[in-house]
Structure 1
Amino acid sequence: MGAFALPLILVAPAAADPAAAGATHVGVVEARSCANLGVTIPLDPAQAERARAMLPAGFVLAAMPTMLVETSTCAGAEVNGTEIGRFHLSEAALSVEPPLPIASPRLGEAVAENIYMISQLDTNELLSEFKLGLGYRSELVDITLDLGAPDQLGRLASATAGGELAPTAATAQLTPSLLPGEVRVPNPGIVYKLWTRDAQGRYVVTTNANMTIDRPAAGVGTVTAPEGTAVHRILGADSANGIAFSGRAERFVNDIFVIPAG
């Protein structure tokens, strides 16, 4: 249920106080051995204007707006204590200003990335139903991810997600892994916060903390989306280019909060 970024330094754990007034902790997803491919697309003024029109009330597009399309695969997870097997995720999101203060209960924050979730697609029924019940736009779809050979120079990676809600495809040319294969490093405090609003108008946010990361890589990528989809409407074209990244998280923890609308 979220993206992961590249580590630099270790910081101390955060206190468990979520900070936002009235925030209720409603669930936990803890996944293991996850690999990803993401493409971050800078939005030009016309694309940014279309993105603003798509945001619900209470959300403001970031000053330097981007769209993220990311696909991940995980060896398994616990969804509120229930074990699920291997699954894939595919997410599309817009960078936003944080509508309310909220802190990860797992990790001290050096950097927080706030994103509004256009969609959260996956291949596991229990996980999809949980997200749908919270107010995220989710759908069970076919998802593929091929990261190529991690040590190959100029390696090619690709990902696809089907369905009706937010089908996309991504291709990227990545560097080899920027760390030796046996080296794992702790997250320095980069926390993604995944926002939406539910049918009652409440804010829903997932704090995504990746605990240990390895095999980071970067490059350039292209995202394509069919006409008529939300991603296509924002881009105003069949495809767009951006900065690609990849890596592996040995463990990530999503804590989900619901906050009454103010």
Structure 2
Amino acid sequence: MGFGRSGRSNNHSTVTAAGAASMNCQEGNDSSCGCGGHEEKKMLKCVVVGDGAVGKTCLLMSYANDAFPEEYVPTVFDHYAVTVTVGGKQHLLGLYDTAGQEDYNQLRPLSYPNTDVFLICFSVVNPASYHNVQEEWVPELKDCMPHVPYVLIGTQIDLRDDPKTLARLLYMKEKPLTYEHGVKLAKAIGAQCYLECSALTQKGLKAVFDEAILTIFHPKKKKKHCSQCHSCCSII
């Protein structure tokens, strides 16, 4: 199944899947897209989790607004809706942001009910966030929503070659995490797939949400990684 995108408005984006998913909508609000017709749309819920400051909010804002936020914004994204059509039926893909800080441990799970897919994020230039995927985030999701599939996402890949970031990591005797690190972790935690992206350059960004949609409708029974989604998902 292949996905393409023809554009994105302030409140909605266009996502299509060859032969199975297509969408054409106008600007609207979070509950409807203003497309003609009155058919009720099913809400598909995608929740993003991970340590604080790994780029979750920027990931969502860059995708939804087609632009990287100019200033750092703490978790204020909250909820966004993208209208998609899958198998001839319209759906709303709800994107939900969460705060990764420990202070929100009791509050955060309140946003989990009815989730269709989780995106577990870590920064490829923050080894602690990588380790916390297995130590903190997977246990939390398995405890709260044991039957919901999740995709592992490596963020901030544009910083792998950033001199200041490399100097900081060198000072702490650390290195950026590689794609192979992500693949290994995805296998270990039973993720549907491992993908990595940059919210700043938008490299790999579209593939992340294409995979989220694919996972909702076609979750893999046998969890395995896929090489940037090309081999098993045929994203184009």
TM-score by length of 2: 0.27
Structure with the greater relative contact order (CA < 8 A, sep ≥ 6): 1 or 2?
1
Kindly indicate which of the two structures has a greater share of residues assigned to helix.
2
> Could you tell me the TM-score, scaled by structure 1's length?
0.26
Q: Give the structure with the larger strand fraction.
A: 1
